[in-house]
Structure 1
Amino acid sequence: MKNVFLTGCLFLSQIGFAQFNYPKTPEKPATDDYFGTKITDNYQWLEDLKSPEVKTWFKAQSDYSHIIIDKIPNRDALYNRMKQVQEMGGDSYGYATQRGNLYFYVKTKKNEKLSKLYAKDVSTGKEILIFDPETYKKDAQITNFTVDTKGNQIALLFSKSGSEICELRILDLKTKKFLDDVLAPIWSEFNFEFTPDGRYITYTKMSTGDPNSNMLLKEMKAMIHQIGTNQDKDIVLGAREEYPELNILTEQFPEVSFSDDYKSIILRIGSTKSESPVFYAPFSSIKDKKIKWKQIVKPSDDIVQTFISGDQLFFLSHKNAPNYKIGLTSLSNPDFDNAKVIVPESSSVITSIHSSKNYLVYSLSNGIIQDKYLIDLKTLTRKKAPLPSGINNSVALNARENDNLQCYNSNWLTPATFYDYSPENDKAIKSKYFNGDSNYPDYYASYEVKEVEVKSHDGTMVPLSIIYPKNIKMDGSTPAYITGYGGYGISSTPRFSNRLSVLLEQGTVVAVAHVRGGGEKGENWHKDGMKAKKPNTWKDFIACSEYLVNQKYTSPSKLIGNGGSMGGVLIGRAITERPDLFAVAIAEVGMTNVLRSQNSANGANQIPEVGSLKDPEDTKHLIEMDAQSKVKKGIKYPAVIVSTGMNDSRITPWEPAKFAAVLQNSTSSGKPVLLYANYENGHFTSDLEVVFKEYADIFAFALWQVGHPKFQPAKK
Structure 2
Amino acid sequence: KVPAPYQWMENLNDPALKVWVEKENALTHAYLAKVPTRPWIEQRLTQLWNYAKEGVPVQAGEYLFFSRNSGLQNQSPVYVQAGASGKPRELLDPNTLSPNGDIALLNWQPSQDGHYLAYGLSQGGSDWETLHVMDVATGKTLSDDVQWVKFSGIAWTHDGKGFFYSRYPAPPKGEAISDRVENQALYYHRLGTPQSDDVLIYKRPDLPEWIIGGQVSHDGKYLFISLVNGTANRNELFVKDLGTGAQPDLSAPTRPLFTSNNAVYQPIGTIGDTVYLQTTLDAPRGRIVAFNIGHPDVAHWRVVVPQTAAVIQSANLADGRVLVNKLKDVKSELELYASDGKHLATLPLPTLGSVGGISSHEDSKQVYYAFTSFLYPTTIFNYDVSDGKTSTVFKPDVPFDPSNYETVQVFYHSKDGTRVPMFLTYRKGLKRDGLNPTLLYAYGGFDISITPSFSSTLPVWLELGGIYAVANIRGGGEYGEAWHKAGMLGNKQNVFNDFAWAAKWLVKNRYTEVKRLGIQGYSNGGLLIGASITERPRLFGAAYAGAGVMDMLRYQKFSGGALWAPEYGTADVKKDFEWLIKYSPVQNVRPGTCYPPTIITTADHDDRVVPSNSYKFTAAMQHDQACANPILLRVETDTSHNYMPTDKRIRQSADILAFMANNLGVSAAPKGNPDAPGGK
With normalisation by structure 1, the TM-score equals 0.88
Measured after TM superposition, the shift of residue 303 of structure 1 is: 2.1
SS in 2 for 1:415: strand
Letter matched to residue 435 of structure 1: K
Distance in 2 (alpha carbons) for counterparts of 1:337 and 1:62: 61
SS in 2 for 1:162: coil
Measured after TM superposition, the shift of residue 161 of structure 1 is: 2.3
* Alpha carbons 1:579, 1:636 under 8 Å: kept: yes
The aligned runs of 1:621-632 (5 Å cut-off) are 621-632=579-590
> 1:201-233 CA distances to partner (integer Å, 9 max, x unpaired)?
211112225554654521112111111111111
- Count residues in correspondence: 662
Q: Say which is worse superposed, 476-485 or 71-80, in terms of deviation.
A: 71-80
Distance in 1 (alpha carbons) for counterparts of 2:322 and 2:164: 24
In structure 1, what is the equivalent of residue 201 of structure 2? Answer: 237
Distance in 2 (alpha carbons) for counterparts of 1:123 and 1:260: 21
Letter matched to residue 92 of structure 1: K
* Alpha carbons 2:164, 2:188 under 8 Å: kept: yes
Matched, 1:116 2:77: yes
Distance in 2 (alpha carbons) for counterparts of 1:236 and 1:171: 23
In structure 2, what is the equivalent of residue 444 of structure 1? Answer: 403
Letter matched to residue 668 of structure 2: K
In structure 2, what is the equivalent of residue 408 of structure 1? Answer: 370
In structure 1, what is the equivalent of residue 122 of structure 2? Answer: 159
The aligned runs of 1:16-55 (5 Å cut-off) are 38-55=1-18
Measured after TM superposition, the shift of residue 294 of structure 1 is: 1.2
Q: Say which is worse superposed, 173-182 or 531-540, in terms of deviation.
A: 173-182
In structure 2, what is the equivalent of residue 429 of structure 1? Answer: 391
Closer/same/farther in 2, CA of residues 602 and 197 from structure 1, 3 Å limit: same
In structure 2, what is the equivalent of residue 244 of structure 1? Answer: none
Matched, 1:370 2:332: yes
Matched, 1:676 2:634: yes
The one of 71, 75, 90 equivalent to 2:34 is: 71
The aligned runs of 1:545-560 (5 Å cut-off) are 545-560=503-518
Closer/same/farther in 2, CA of residues 525 and 341 from structure 1, 3 Å limit: same
Give ranges in structure 2 of 5+ residues lacking alignment.
671-680
Distance in 2 (alpha carbons) for counterparts of 1:514 and 1:341: 30
The aligned runs of 1:320-339 (5 Å cut-off) are 320-336=282-298, 339=301
In structure 1, what is the equivalent of residue 415 of structure 2? Answer: 457
With normalisation by structure 2, the TM-score equals 0.93
In structure 2, what is the equivalent of residue 225 of structure 1? Answer: 189
Closer/same/farther in 2, CA of residues 395 and 475 from structure 1, 3 Å limit: closer
> 1:481-528 CA distances to partner (integer Å, 9 max, x unpaired)?
001000011111111111122111111111001100011112111110
Measured after TM superposition, the shift of residue 134 of structure 1 is: 2.2
Letter matched to residue 582 of structure 1: F
The aligned runs of 1:594-633 (5 Å cut-off) are 594-633=552-591
Measured after TM superposition, the shift of residue 471 of structure 1 is: 4.0
In structure 1, what is the equivalent of residue 55 of structure 2? Answer: 94
> 1:75-113 CA distances to partner (integer Å, 9 max, x unpaired)?
1321221121123xx310112122344321110002433
Q: Say which is worse superposed, 388-397 or 514-523, in terms of deviation.
A: 388-397
In structure 1, what is the equivalent of residue 676 of structure 2? Answer: none
* Alpha carbons 2:241, 2:249 under 8 Å: kept: no
SS in 2 for 1:598: helix
Letter matched to residue 408 of structure 1: A
* Alpha carbons 2:107, 2:153 under 8 Å: kept: no
Distance in 2 (alpha carbons) for counterparts of 1:701 and 1:460: 33
* Alpha carbons 2:353, 2:371 under 8 Å: kept: yes
Measured after TM superposition, the shift of residue 602 of structure 1 is: 1.5
Distance in 2 (alpha carbons) for counterparts of 1:304 and 1:486: 23
The one of 90, 94, 109 equivalent to 1:129 is: 90
Distance in 2 (alpha carbons) for counterparts of 1:495 and 1:598: 31
Distance in 2 (alpha carbons) for counterparts of 1:611 and 1:403: 45
Closer/same/farther in 2, CA of residues 211 and 401 from structure 1, 3 Å limit: farther
Distance in 1 (alpha carbons) for counterparts of 2:625 and 2:133: 53
SS in 2 for 1:39: coil
* Alpha carbons 1:636, 1:669 under 8 Å: kept: yes
Measured after TM superposition, the shift of residue 146 of structure 1 is: 1.0
Distance in 2 (alpha carbons) for counterparts of 1:396 and 1:456: 34
Closer/same/farther in 2, CA of residues 255 and 77 from structure 1, 3 Å limit: same
Matched, 1:171 2:171: no
Closer/same/farther in 2, CA of residues 401 and 327 from structure 1, 3 Å limit: closer
Closer/same/farther in 2, CA of residues 394 and 493 from structure 1, 3 Å limit: closer
Measured after TM superposition, the shift of residue 444 of structure 1 is: 3.1
**How large is the RMSD of aligned CA atoms in angstroms?**
2.2
Matched, 1:278 2:242: no
Distance in 1 (alpha carbons) for counterparts of 2:341 and 2:265: 24
SS in 1 for 2:410: strand
> 1:387-437 CA distances to partner (integer Å, 9 max, x unpaired)?
334335255655153131112222221222211101011111122xx333x
Matched, 1:355 2:313: no
SS in 1 for 2:56: coil
Matched, 1:591 2:510: no
Q: Say which is worse superposed, 307-316 or 503-512, in terms of deviation.
A: 307-316
* Alpha carbons 1:207, 1:216 under 8 Å: kept: no
Letter matched to residue 353 of structure 1: A
Percent identical among aligned pairs is: 28
Closer/same/farther in 2, CA of residues 565 and 123 from structure 1, 3 Å limit: closer
In structure 2, what is the equivalent of residue 183 of structure 1? Answer: 146
Q: Say which is worse superposed, 512-521 or 55-64, in terms of deviation.
A: 55-64
In structure 1, what is the equivalent of residue 653 of structure 2? Answer: 695
* Alpha carbons 1:325, 1:343 under 8 Å: kept: yes
Give ranges in structure 1 of 5+ residues lacking alignment.
1-37, 242-246
* Alpha carbons 2:54, 2:68 under 8 Å: kept: yes
Closer/same/farther in 2, CA of residues 519 and 171 from structure 1, 3 Å limit: same
In structure 2, what is the equivalent of residue 26 of structure 1? Answer: none
In structure 1, what is the equivalent of residue 673 of structure 2? Answer: none
Distance in 2 (alpha carbons) for counterparts of 1:684 and 1:536: 27
The aligned runs of 1:513-524 (5 Å cut-off) are 513-524=471-482
> 1:94-136 CA distances to partner (integer Å, 9 max, x unpaired)?
1212234432111000243321111223465422111211223
* Alpha carbons 2:238, 2:256 under 8 Å: kept: yes
Letter matched to residue 228 of structure 1: G
Distance in 2 (alpha carbons) for counterparts of 1:76 and 1:218: 45
Distance in 2 (alpha carbons) for counterparts of 1:695 and 1:495: 17
* Alpha carbons 1:166, 1:186 under 8 Å: kept: yes
* Alpha carbons 1:206, 1:221 under 8 Å: kept: yes
Closer/same/farther in 2, CA of residues 623 and 711 from structure 1, 3 Å limit: farther
Matched, 1:489 2:447: yes
Measured after TM superposition, the shift of residue 338 of structure 1 is: 5.7
Measured after TM superposition, the shift of residue 287 of structure 1 is: 6.2
Distance in 2 (alpha carbons) for counterparts of 1:540 and 1:158: 39
SS in 2 for 1:709: coil
In structure 1, what is the equivalent of residue 533 of structure 2? Answer: 575
> 1:329-388 CA distances to partner (integer Å, 9 max, x unpaired)?
332121225622222222221122222342222112113321112232367554322333
Matched, 1:666 2:630: no
* Alpha carbons 1:172, 1:178 under 8 Å: kept: yes
Matched, 1:253 2:211: yes
Measured after TM superposition, the shift of residue 174 of structure 1 is: 2.5
Letter matched to residue 237 of structure 1: I
Measured after TM superposition, the shift of residue 278 of structure 1 is: 1.0
In structure 2, what is the equivalent of residue 564 of structure 1? Answer: 522
Closer/same/farther in 2, CA of residues 500 and 628 from structure 1, 3 Å limit: same
